[in-house]
Amino acid sequence: MLTTLVKYLPDWFPGAGFKQTAKEWNKTVIDLVEKPYNLVRRRMVEGKYRPSYLSKLLKDGNISAEEAHVAKWTAASLYAGGADTVSCNPLDAVFHDLDLQN
């Protein structure tokens, strides 16, 4: 019930600044979902892609709108979760590779 009332609260109403913040964050979330998906699709068409979770889902080429929606959001969730928990210094990668060669 409260969410229904908040939905109709005017943007100019005192204390409703959260509505502008929500609009900005919504754009950020949509970009997080759409941009990587479109990039992978474009690279697959060009034949210049690396195998990935998303490219494997899109490999067949004929997916429904629902499957595309699920692919976008699951890939974004995996990316966001990994970006939050994994950090890598480029020098660490170099030294790791050198260590493996010995």
User: pTM (2 decimals)?
Assistant: 0.65
| Statement: residue 94 has pLDDT above 80 | no
Cα–Cα dist 91/85, whole Å: 19
Residue 6 included in any domain: no
Residue 24 included in any domain: yes
Average pLDDT over every residue of 76-101: 64
Q: In total, how many domains does the chain have? A: 1
Residue 5 included in any domain: no
Residue 3 included in any domain: no
| pLDDT tens digits for range 66-75 | 999 999 999 9
pLDDT band at 40 (very low <50, low <70, confident <90, very high): very high
Q: Which domain holds residue 44?
A: 15-101
Candidates 68, 65, 77, 70; CA nearest to 29 is 77
Residue 52 included in any domain: yes
Cα–Cα dist 72/33, whole Å: 6
Residue 77 included in any domain: yes
CA dihedral 5, 7, 11, 16 (to 10 degrees): 60
